[in-house]
Chains A and B, each alone.
Chain A
Amino acid sequence: MTTDLYTLPFDRISHDDFNRVGGKCASLGEMTQAGVAVPPGFAVTTEAYAAMLDHHGVRAEIERHLRGIDAEDLDTVERAAHAIQIRIRSHPLPEDVEAAIRVGYAAMGDDIPVAVRSSATAEDLPDASFAGQQDTYLWVRGADEVVNHVRDCWASLFTTRAVAYREKNNIPHIDVLMSVGVQKMVNARAAGVAMTLDPSNGDRTRIVIDSSWGLGETVVSGLVTPDNFVVEKVLQEIMDRTISDKHIELVGDAALGQAVEREVEADRRRIPSLSDDEIMAVAMLAKRLEKQNKCPQDVEWAIDADLPAGENLLALQSRPETIWSQKAKAKPKHPFATGMTSIVGTLTNPLASRK
């Protein structure tokens, strides 16, 4: 069996596999292993990518294209990037890699719709999107399509922007390896993002949820103004709800074999996309993931319309929150008043008068 070399199911991924499966898949693997409900799937490992590069001289060809680049001349970058992308997309995969992907996909069910997403190994770079990390193909169906989209994800390492960025920052192009996640498509009734701190002020006692109809991509990309819910993390109570006009949703179209954007009917636009029980379930999921990962998290989740209530909340991704966590570390410490001195301070300078 070659399957564990080139593909690795989520339930066999541990944190040690980070370099083989990238950040996104490693997180999905960890969640799966910890018993969090995650749509099933597998990672196409970086070994598969490396095998593709080493197949029929692809690596040498890419390097040749890259040598022709003048970083100051965007045309040369664009020409090289295009050529490399076409080369990767049209290249037949090594037989054992392609077989592994097909076996992995077949194991998930009979031609079920899946999401194919890139999972980069270089997440800590400042502008993560250069690596094509945002590349996501939704509602992909059939083994041929899956294989094609895995190639698309790999090719996204060589967008003009990504190539230019690496040139400018002296990052070796070929050392950035990419894994691809193939995950069962969620039939999202509602989806969105949950942060285990308040992104507006870094308040760690709050869990802030953005939610809208359909797949969460509309929320992540800012295509809709989502509903916003605030939950007190410790008391586990909903503190605030803002219901927005959610005018579009992204849903799977089985006939087209892709996710399509459509208008939300008038009577559904302004009603809450989550019930109170669902809000609490999302919040508790985020809280659990924060505890598991020992730092504030940014969680993508979805409510699956095909699953029964109580089992229909799925985690799609969990990653550390970075902005406020870094600020908190940089914050200067001020000494605390204690004992009687503090009590005198409390009395002479009551909270209500402090600014």
Chain B
Amino acid sequence: MDAQKSMFPSAFDVPAPKGGEDWQGLYPYYTNFQPSRRAEDDQKFWFCNSQHWPTPLRPFDVIMLDFAIKCLGQYNTRHLLVPPANGVDYRILNGFVYFSPVGVAPEDIEARVPQFMERAGHYFGNWDDLLANWKTKVLSAIKELDAISFHKLPEVEDLEVITGGKGLDSTTHLFENYDHAINLAYRIWQYHFEFLNLGYAAYLDFFGFMKEQFPTVPDQAIAKMVQGVNSELFRPDDEIKKLAKLAVELGCADALKSGTVDEALAAVAAAPGGDTWLKQWEDAKDPWFNFTSGNGFYSTDKYWIDHLDIPLGYLRDYIERVEAGEEIMRPTAALIAERDRITAEYRDMMDPEAQEVFDGKLGLSRVVFPYVEDHNFYIEHWALGVFWRKMRELSELLASEGMWDDPEGMFYLHRNEVRDVIWDYSQAWAIGTETHGRDVWNTEIARRKGILTALASEPPVQALNNPPEVITEPFTIMLWGITSEAVARWGAADEDSAGLKGMAGSPGVVEGVARVLRSPDQLSELQKGEILVTPVTAPSWAPVFGKIGAAVTDIGGMMSHAAIVCREYGLPAVTGTGNATAKIKTGMRLRVDGNNGTVEILD
């Protein structure tokens, strides 16, 4: 490579798509690449995290970026002192999110070791107790969030405010509730990372040991030995399956087969056994339908509980399969037996000393790994589901009070602008005038929507500047599948037109017809046996994995959702191809090789 020329462009040379030129004003100053810091920022390698942020962010949604990335950093840098790794620096460019891992200066690494040993050692040594405590903390935060509600300011304060000598008005609660909701989301994100990095560290330690023993052992084989079969992430899907079986058993399945959600539920209520079925449906909803079809990071995420048509659609598919005599429940006993077989066979190929070490490292990995899988349900699905519901309530309230027309208008504002809006609403209410916002926000929101539409029209640049010689930051590799090889592939993209290379996410080879889906709203288009090609999948897509032949994603590592679920369902998966959704068109015949991480376009 030409030493003068970077492999990827500088952030300062990437133009905005036409119509999106004014995007910078949508986001806080600290997320921008500042021209005054060009020299410094151009020295760093930035990769686009399109796994977690596949589309341009609406301004309010910066909240999740801020909280997630700050909280990831705090545990590495300030709580645990992970010897070589601080946090991950972040920026926004053309509405997309860019990350750059921050290492610790080599001379400072040694000094952090004793502290890390003590602090991380405490967690590993008291994992179960600390985790039980974690669950209590998270559930109580969710309960607090759930209790928050936003109300229209009253025409007149209640008489009790006077007689009770309270001396405070309803705007006080409005501010308190808004701030409390934001603070709870902040707290929830801190909890999210309390255990996560440690979970990954223990897993990587086992992973490294296995690769030393058997340099060619597939990543997926290591994952299979550690992965649980009873992760709470599978629970929502399992609940739908149980409901489908119950409907068929009770003989009330026909009532559910057509009409809107309300119509179907009314029909089943009138059907024989309908009461029993409805009770189970209601029981399953809380908490298991707090399940997003996205990843929880976007205000646009659709949660099952708010969109019952989504679980109902899956339910109908399952009912059809149950009626066709298919066994739809996951074969957990067989999965456990297979996991034990794989574990025993690798172990048998080691000498006795290595076997002892293997047992220790695998044991720790299995202790910590359920957290790595389960936290996702508690945080991204359940807690953030409640958070977004509350924020939608507020946005709708402000819309009904004339601040903007679009019920979702608030999400085009940054969270601190929302505080200004609440002030505007409060002062106008108190003074007895009209809000200023009603003259400002509709126009401004329309302008911002235009910019976001323009930004979404072009795919992001995958990376910026030059990658380091080797990418070593463990979390970057583990979470985002960013390896030296992956980056080299991006650099060489588009040279070979007949095939794509990605990560071997789940073993097996399958040929079939592609179905390219860019949004979860299109999931119903999938036909049985098709190969799902999509930018990224989410856990709530689980029901479609019973239908497809294989999965191919643009983004994601061996621990990405698609890889985990495909291993569970015994389907081949190739993840992190970079540009599968751009190169593959629906209807193309593909050969997906999940053993080697390749996708071949056959025609």
A232: which B residues are within 8 A, CB to CB? 218, 221, 507, 595
Tell whether A238 pairs with B205 under 8 Å between CB atoms, given A205-B216, A338-B360, A348-B84: no
| Distance (whole angstroms) from the CB of A345 to the closest CB of chain B | 8
B474 touching A336, Cβ below 8 Å = no
Q: For chain A residues 209-252, which have a beta carbon within 8 Å of chain B?
A: 232-235, 237-240
B116 touching A344, Cβ below 8 Å = yes
- Expressed in whole angstroms, the Cα–Cα distance for A351 and B215 within the complex equals 11
A276: which B residues are within 8 A, CB to CB? 509
A170 at the interface (CB under 8 A from B): no
Residue in A205, A238, A336, A345 whose CB lies within 8 Å of B357: A336
Tell whether A347 pairs with B507 under 8 Å between CB atoms, given A235-B218, A340-B120, A352-B470: no
Interface 1/0s, chain A 82-126, versus B by CB < 8 A?
000000000000000000000000000000000000000000000
| Distance (whole angstroms) from the CB of B340 to the closest CB of chain A | 12
- Expressed in whole angstroms, the Cα–Cα distance for A32 and B590 within the complex equals 43
Selected interface stretch from B206-214, B256-264, B374-382, B538-546: B206-214
Q: For chain A residues 123-146, which have a beta carbon within 8 Å of chain B?
A: none
A240: which B residues are within 8 A, CB to CB? 596
B72 at the interface (CB under 8 A from A): no
- Expressed in whole angstroms, the Cα–Cα distance for A85 and B351 within the complex equals 48
A333 at the interface (CB under 8 A from B): yes
A350 touching B205, Cβ below 8 Å = no
B345 at the interface (CB under 8 A from A): yes
B526: which A residues are within 8 A, CB to CB? none
A203 touching B116, Cβ below 8 Å = no
A234 touching B109, Cβ below 8 Å = no
B293: which A residues are within 8 A, CB to CB? none
B221: which A residues are within 8 A, CB to CB? 232, 234-235
Q: For chain B residues 456-489, which have a beta carbon within 8 Å of chain A?
A: 470-474, 477, 483-484
Tell whether A351 pairs with B207 under 8 Å between CB atoms, given A237-B595, A239-B595, A340-B120: yes
B211: which A residues are within 8 A, CB to CB? 351
Chain B: interface residue total (CB-CB under 8 A): 50
Tell whether A348 pairs with B83 under 8 Å between CB atoms, given A203-B215, A234-B345: yes
B214: which A residues are within 8 A, CB to CB? 203-205
- Expressed in whole angstroms, the Cα–Cα distance for A196 and B68 within the complex equals 47
Most buried by A among B83, B353, B472, B509: B472
B346 touching A350, Cβ below 8 Å = no
B17: which A residues are within 8 A, CB to CB? none
A343 at the interface (CB under 8 A from B): yes
B446 at the interface (CB under 8 A from A): no
- Expressed in whole angstroms, the Cα–Cα distance for A351 and B485 within the complex equals 13
B204: which A residues are within 8 A, CB to CB? 346-347, 350-351
A342 at the interface (CB under 8 A from B): yes
A352 touching B472, Cβ below 8 Å = yes
A149 at the interface (CB under 8 A from B): no
A346 touching B473, Cβ below 8 Å = no
A346: which B residues are within 8 A, CB to CB? 201, 204-205, 208, 474
- Expressed in whole angstroms, the Cα–Cα distance for A153 and B215 within the complex equals 44
A204: which B residues are within 8 A, CB to CB? 214, 349
Tell whether A343 pairs with B220 under 8 Å between CB atoms, given A232-B595, A350-B473: no
B121 touching A340, Cβ below 8 Å = yes
A2 at the interface (CB under 8 A from B): no
Interface 1/0s, chain B 191-228, versus A by CB < 8 A?
00000000001101101110100111110110010000
A352 touching B477, Cβ below 8 Å = yes
| Distance (whole angstroms) from the CB of B357 to the closest CB of chain A | 4
- Expressed in whole angstroms, the Cα–Cα distance for A225 and B552 within the complex equals 35
B246 at the interface (CB under 8 A from A): no
Tell whether A336 pairs with B353 under 8 Å between CB atoms, given A237-B507, A346-B205: yes
Q: Which residues of B are interface residues toward A (Cβ below 8 A)?
A: 82-85, 109, 113, 116-117, 120-121, 124, 201-202, 204-205, 207-209, 211, 214-218, 220-221, 224, 342, 345-346, 349, 351, 353-354, 357, 360-361, 470-474, 477, 483-484, 507-509, 595-596
Q: Which residues of A are interface residues toward B (Cβ below 8 A)?
A: 198, 203-206, 232-235, 237-240, 276, 333, 336, 338-348, 350-353
Given contacts A239-B596, A346-B474, 10 further A-B contacts (CB under 8 A): A205-B216, A234-B221, A239-B218, A336-B209, A344-B113, A347-B82, A350-B473, A350-B474, A350-B477, A351-B204
Q: 19 pairs across A/B with beta carbons < 8 Å?
A: A204-B349, A205-B216, A205-B217, A205-B346, A206-B216, A232-B218, A233-B345, A234-B221, A235-B595, A239-B595, A239-B596, A336-B353, A338-B357, A346-B474, A347-B82, A347-B84, A350-B472, A350-B474, A350-B477
Instruction: Give the 6 A-B residue pairs with the shortest CB-CB distance, closest first.
Output: A346-B205, A336-B357, A350-B472, A237-B507, A234-B345, A237-B595
